Amino acid sequence: MHMPFGAGMAGSESTDLAFTDPLTGLGNRRRFFDKTSRLIEERADDPAPFAIGILDLDGFKPINDLFGHRAGDDILAQAAMRLRATIDHHSAVCRIGADEFAFLYPLVFSEDAALDKAQMLIEILSAPYDVGERTARLSASIGCSLFYSGDETTEILVSKAETALYHAKRSGRGKVVVYSREMEEAAKRVTRIEQALRRAVAAGEVEPHFQPIVDLATRRIIGFEALARWTDRDLGPVSPVVFIPIAEERGIIGPLSQLVLRKAAEVARGWPKDLFLSFNLSPSQLVDQNTGLHILSILDRTGFDPRRLEIEITETGLMNDPASAKKIVEDLQRVGIRVSLDDFGTGQSSLGRLREFSFDKLKIDRAFISSLLNDKPSQHIIRAILAMCEGLGMDVVAEGIEDEAQADRLVQFGCAGGQGFLFGKPADAEATLGYLHDALRGARRLRAV
């Protein structure tokens, strides 16, 4: 008698702990690979399609940190129970990572059917979870791939599903993406960029460009923000919008950041002493307790005064591990480095973070500035931010200023600092030095009048 694919759990297989996840009782990664490989073998002569998927719980780590590891284990166990109850007896679900599950649907033959199944799983997982006397909510992202050809292996199918999952998570929480040829090309391009970027960082070929930050009332330059720029010998200019996320995701951001900071500090050392250098830290650097040591080592080697450095961090960067970020911020401030909260108003925890962290400066996100002149809510929000910062003793810089009317309105509101294309686009070290010389000559002429 032919047994359904999800059956056959009695006997030695069910007692083989090597194939079982001890927390949830589901199969583990080994079991998932074993089941998928056996199904591929069964269909080698007649490769009827089937679907697999990788499911990742969105936002599990912050919940785990907030409620504790025991509560996190309870949530994982509850998620596993829901998944097991949803999967039919032909199919299988396994836990393959900390908060990752994989599913196998032998009787799903199309992308649309895979999407429907995956969407159902997301809906089931989105219901509240019991955590003691409280409840928690989270969502899930899923990447799927379909078996079409006997040439495909389990490793290839899983790799495709992981690529689809990557695209699902980049497009927002609670999404399902099924692998496509276009993704394969995009994945190959990402790999090419990653390899070229690793070589460029090792060779010191990523450069800092500098965008001026001004006193809005006088238009006097008070500092520059350093921004990474990269032109590859084969790929040509690569936008930071492209290579920074790749560096973050592929573990290159640490050495890339250190390279750009070192070069920027060497350049800024020759500026007038009253100008500061502003530099961005990525989210992953805020969970690495060596970040502060790396920054101090670079300042020591370049001879750049820590009191002239401002480190910018984003609200979303704080969310992964607030305790780690808080320690890094305090370590930096202890040696005189100022810390700025960037992109304020676009994250998910603004006011709470202002109470927990002692920031020196706040940067109002360009989204509010772009609508400043014709949007009353934006005007009220900016006024409220400025009043709050005055009460908290924090400096303020408005980002994304592109025309005189925006700058004038911000001065009326009492905003002291500004940054944007109106005052200058990011430029390399040589052009920035020329910009500074022109600004100083202009200031001298004004004083002579």
- The CA distance from 93 to 5, in Å, is 12
- Type of residue numbered 16: D
pLDDT of residue 409: 96
End-to-end alpha carbon distance in the chain: 101
Give the CATH class of 190-448.
alpha beta
Sheet holding 139-147, edge to edge: 92-95, 100-105, 50-58, 139-147, 176-178
- The CA distance from 255 to 237, in Å, is 20
- The CA distance from 333 to 309, in Å, is 10
Q: Where are the domains positioned within the chain?
A: 12-179, 190-448
For the domain covering 12-179, report its CATH number: 3.30.70.270
DSSP string, 275-336: -EEEEE--GGGGG-TTHHHHHHHHHHHHT--GGGEEEEEEHHHHHS-HHHHHHHHHHHHHTT
Q: Count Cα atoms within 13 angstroms, Cβ side, for 422.
A: 23
CB 55, CB 24: distance < 8 Å: no
Alpha carbon 141 to its chain's center: 15
- The CA distance from 196 to 234, in Å, is 9
- The CA distance from 197 to 204, in Å, is 10
Residue found under tokens 């929000």:
381
The residues with which 229 forms a beta bridge, in sequence order, are 207
Q: Count Cα atoms within 13 angstroms, Cβ side, for 294.
A: 18
Please identify every stretch of the chain with a pLDDT value under 70, giving residue numbers as ranges.
1-15, 345-350, 352, 442-449
- Type of residue numbered 6: G
What distances in angstroms separate CA 202 from CA 9, 198, 263, 329, one per listed residue? 51, 6, 14, 28
Q: Rounded to the nearest 5 degrees, what angle is found at the Cα of 86, between the Cα atoms of 167 and 58? A: 35
Exposed, middle or buried: residue 395 (CB in 10 Å: 0-12, 13-18, 19+)?
A: middle
